């Protein structure tokens, strides 16, 4: 290139004056740069481009390296200036559709105006690299149905976003697993046959690398074998108790080809009492069940126990069985009679050594002296485990003699199991008589009783009562009277209250009769003793009004007195009768009421108003009383 130079002087006014000239020649300079390929790595699909000896006829704003394998993967890279003045670029095939083969690299210098000046180029070759990975099967456990898959020596022509391990035993149980990266750079997966329909046999494992775009690159595979494992379990029978009808089933050494969600122990003595039990896990890892024959119709004999493992899907896997024997146990109980008290008419029944082949909900003691007084009692449990009952003869019609007590155990279903019985004897206590008689002259005061022809019943009754008193005193009998003159004494309860407060042996109420019809032909003597009537409840004698001993001795007294009266007087015998008269109801000792003749019969009135007749009546009454004492073991 020819370059001409002229010389001019410029004055202060700006004018130019020529002073000569010369010429020279500038040669054309080509841009230069040395392109070197470094660190080519076929496995990773990378290489470095380094540019040195850089020069350009223009200024260099940046170094541009367009790179491609095929025209559709051309990339324009800007190289990076290094500390030594060179420029460097790392090319990765992932930016070129992961292609292998010949890569072309051109060199351009971009000047500050944005213009590009070419300075050469080069090529390099990336060989195709197969993905690799070493698959190792570890920790295969046939019993648990598991194995580990470990992948090492990992490489892929593409980036590796995750390691995928599709695994199957048959095509319908294929599972695509993602392995987990370990601290040493390997990848690991644990396979469990429960995720493959619990199948055993050959398992196939393939290895894939998934790249960031989601593509999969196969890198091999392997197989392993899970052998079929039979479920196992040791069944032990412990704590067999024939008396209680129980035994424990313990299961140890437990294993199953499937997971174990629960341990099931179907148990039976006969097919109609089969029960499916779930055993309870113990702290030592064993499982335990307590079997009670009450849940199997209280049967004894051979019990069969099978062992099943239930998995999380509800399936059952059998693992064996065993048998045991519960012997029949007879119910037992020791019955002891304690604290027998003839005077009070009571005794205690105590039951010890209690056992039954069934559960014992309560202890029953049916007790009787005769069949018509049987009572079913429930005994009360004591602090020492025994059972106790107090029997009182008042609940058995006040009877003495032999009492029978049977023992039954009632179970929770209401069934009764007999366990024996015993007898005891309540004797009739010897009565300590006071030999005192309480005489009750009927009516008195404002209450005249029957009145006919100017004759009042109250006066007749008092006359006979006074004569009876004298007769009894002659026999050595003490006498008390509800009245000794003509005054009011309440007949409803007061006469009985006075008697009950005494120690008298018996009570006699003296009356004369009337039909209430004006004039009658009624005649004769009658004697009454107590008859219970639910419409007339006792007010002051609830405890003794129906006492069998009182009633029995009242009946004897009524008969002895009536017999003596008829024999002495020759009067018409109207018999012994029963009524619920107040003085009979409220008096606590043997009591009678005598009606000594009819005042409304004019003929009979003429007899009964005679003092001499009163003497005969009193004599007969006294003899009847003495006959009563003889009958009830008195004098």
pLDDT confidence bin for 3, thresholds 50/70/90: low
Flag whether pLDDT at 429 surpasses 90.
Answer: no
Range of the domain at 407: 332-426
Assigned domain for 8 exists = no
Question: Is 554 found in the same domain as 488?
Answer: yes
Flag whether pLDDT at 256 surpasses 50.
Answer: yes
Model confidence over 11-25: pLDDT tens digits? 899 888 888 788 776
Q: Which of 310, 326, 342 is the last residue of a domain?
A: 326
**CATH code, domain with 240:** 2.60.40.3760
pLDDT of residue 1: 58
| Distance in angstroms (rounded) separating the CA atoms of residues 333 and 291 | 24
Rounded mean pLDDT, 491-518: 95
Sign, CA dihedral 512-514-518-521, equals negative
Flag whether pLDDT at 534 surpasses 60.
Answer: yes
Question: Is 551 found in the same domain as 533?
Answer: yes
Assigned domain for 25 exists = no
pLDDT confidence bin for 82, thresholds 50/70/90: very high
Question: Is 355 found in the same domain as 289?
Answer: no
pLDDT of residue 426: 92
> Residue 94 half-sphere exposure, CB side, CA atoms within 13 Å?
13
Assigned domain for 406 exists = yes
Mean pLDDT of the chain: 94
Question: Is 564 found in the same domain as 472?
Answer: yes
Q: Which residue has the higher pLDDT, 266 or 142?
A: 266
Assigned domain for 22 exists = no
Question: Is 463 found in the same domain as 585?
Answer: yes
CB atoms within 10 A of CB 56: 19
Model confidence over 364-376: pLDDT tens digits? 999 999 999 999 9
pLDDT of residue 398: 82
* Helix, strand, or coil (residue 396): helix
SS (H, E, C) 416-450: EEEEEEEEEEECCCCCCCCCEEEEEECCECCECCC
Question: Is 506 found in the same domain as 358?
Answer: no
How many residues does this entry show for the chain? 635
Q: Which of 126, 141, 172 is the last residue of a domain?
A: 126
| Distance in angstroms (rounded) separating the CA atoms of residues 174 and 171 | 6
Question: Is 163 found in the same domain as 38?
Answer: no
> How far from chain centre, in Å, is Cα 608?
83
Assigned domain for 7 exists = no
Strands (E), 427-572: 436-441, 451-452, 455-456, 478-481, 506-513, 525-530
Question: Is 597 found in the same domain as 488?
Answer: yes
pLDDT of residue 634: 47
pTM more than 0.85? no
Rounded mean pLDDT, 413-423: 94
Task: Return the bridge partners of 188, or none.
Answer: 150, 180
Question: Is 280 found in the same domain as 389?
Answer: no
Assigned domain for 18 exists = no
Tokens at 104, concatenated: 């072309």
Question: Is 357 found in the same domain as 471?
Answer: no
pLDDT of residue 26: 61
Model confidence over 593-610: pLDDT tens digits? 999 999 999 999 999 999
pLDDT of residue 328: 87
Active site residue 595: yes
Rounded mean pLDDT, 203-209: 97
Rounded mean pLDDT, 63-83: 96
Closest to 411 measured CA to CA, from 329, 300, 269, 294: 294
Assigned domain for 309 exists = yes
Question: Is 464 found in the same domain as 574?
Answer: yes
346-355 vs 332-341, strand pairing mode: antiparallel
Question: Is 36 found in the same domain as 105?
Answer: yes
Model confidence over 229-249: pLDDT tens digits? 889 999 999 999 988 889 999
Closest to 592 measured CA to CA, from 635, 627, 633, 616: 627
Long-range contact set of residues 390-396: C-beta below 8 Å, sequence gap at least 24:
390/339, 390/346, 390/347, 390/348, 390/349, 391/346, 391/347, 391/348, 391/349, 391/367, 392/344, 392/345, 392/346, 393/345, 393/346, 393/369, 393/426, 394/345, 394/547, 396/367, 396/368, 396/369
Assigned domain for 14 exists = no
Q: Which of 168-177, 346-355, 390-399, 427-436 has the lowest mean pLDDT?
A: 427-436
Flag whether pLDDT at 635 surpasses 70.
Answer: no
Model confidence over 282-325: pLDDT tens digits? 999 999 999 999 899 989 999 999 999 999 999 999 999 999 99
Rounded mean pLDDT, 218-228: 94
Domain tally, the chain: 5
User: 526, 553, 586, 595: which one is catalytic?
Assistant: 595
Flag whether pLDDT at 5 surpasses 60.
Answer: yes
Q: Which of 226, 242, 260 is the last residue of a domain?
A: 226
Rounded mean pLDDT, 525-540: 97
């Amino acid at each position: 290139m020819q370059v001409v130079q002229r010389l001019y002087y410029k004055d202060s006014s700006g004018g130019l004056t020529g002073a000569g000239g010369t010429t020279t020649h500038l040669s054309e300079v080509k841009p230069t740069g040395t392109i070197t390929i470094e660190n080519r790595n076929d496995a990773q699909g990378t290489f470095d481009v380094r540019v040195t000896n850089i020069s350009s006829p223009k200024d260099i704003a940046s170094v541009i390296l367009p790179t491609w394998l095929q025209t559709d993967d051309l990339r324009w890279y800007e190289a990076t200036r290094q500390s030594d003045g060179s420029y460097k670029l790392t090319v990765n095939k992932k930016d070129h559709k992961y292609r292998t083969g010949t890569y072309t690299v051109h060199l351009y210098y971009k000047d500050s105006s944005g213009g590009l000046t070419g300075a050469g180029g080069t090529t390099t070759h990336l060989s195709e690299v197969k993905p690799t990975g070493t698959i190792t099967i570890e920790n295969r456990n046939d019993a648990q149905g598991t194995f580990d898959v470990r992948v090492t020596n990992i490489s892929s022509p593409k980036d590796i976003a995750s390691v995928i391990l599709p695994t199957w035993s048959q095509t319908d149980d294929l599972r695509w697993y993602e392995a987990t990266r370990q601290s040493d750079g390997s990848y690991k997966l644990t396979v469990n046959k429960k995720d493959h329909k619990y199948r055993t046999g050959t398992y196939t494992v393939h290895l894939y690398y998934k790249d960031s775009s989601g593509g999969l690159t196969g890198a091999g595979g392997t197989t392993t074998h899970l052998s079929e494992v039979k479920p196992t379990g040791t069944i032990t029978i412990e704590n067999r108790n024939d008396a209680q009808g129980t035994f424990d089933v313990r299961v140890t050494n437990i294993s199953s080809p499937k997971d174990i969600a629960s341990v099931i122990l179907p148990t039976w003595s006969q097919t109609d009492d089969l029960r499916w039990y779930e055993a309870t896990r113990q702290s030592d890892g064993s499982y335990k069940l307590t079997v009670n024959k009450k849940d199997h119709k209280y049967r004894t004999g051979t019990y069969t126990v099978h062992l099943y493992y239930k998995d999380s899907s509800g399936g059952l896997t059998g693992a064996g069985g065993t048998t045991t024997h519960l012997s029949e146990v007879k119910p037992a109980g020791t019955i002891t009679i304690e604290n027998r008290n003839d005077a009070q008419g009571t005794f205690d029944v105590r039951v010890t050594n209690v056992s039954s082949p069934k559960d014992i909900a309560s202890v029953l003691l049916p007790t009787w002296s005769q069949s018509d007084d049987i009572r079913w009692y429930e005994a009360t449990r004591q602090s020492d485990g025994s059972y106790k009952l107090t029997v009182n003869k008042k609940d058995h019609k006040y009877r003495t003699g032999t009492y029978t007590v049977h023992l039954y155990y009632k179970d929770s279903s209401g069934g009764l199991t007999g366990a024996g019985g015993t007898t005891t004897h309540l004797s009739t206590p010897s009565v300590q008589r006071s030999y005192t008689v309480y005489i009750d002259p009927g009516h008195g005061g404002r209450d005249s009783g029957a009145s006919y022809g100017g004759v009042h019943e109250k006066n007749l009754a008092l006359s006979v009562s006074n004569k009876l008193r004298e007769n009894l005193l002659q026999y050595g009998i003490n006498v008390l009277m509800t009245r000794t003159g003509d005054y009011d004494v309440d007949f409803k309860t007061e006469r009985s209250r006075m008697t009950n407060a005494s120690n008298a042996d018996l009570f006699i109420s003296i009356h004369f009769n009337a039909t209430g019809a004006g004039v009658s032909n009624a005649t004769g003597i009658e004697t009454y003793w107590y008859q219970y009537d639910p419409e007339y409840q006792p007010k002051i004698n609830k405890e003794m009004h129906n006492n069998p001993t009182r009633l029995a001795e009242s009946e004897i007294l009524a008969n002895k007195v009536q017999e003596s009266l008829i024999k002495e007087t020759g009067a018409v015998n109207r018999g012994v009768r029963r009524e619920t008269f107040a003085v009979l109801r409220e008096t606590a000792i043997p009591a009678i009421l005598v009606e000594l003749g009819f005042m409304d019969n004019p003929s009979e009135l003429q007899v009964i108003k005679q003092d001499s007749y009163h003497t005969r009546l009193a004599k007969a009454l006294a003899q009847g009383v003495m006959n009563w004492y003889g009958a009830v073991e008195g004098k």
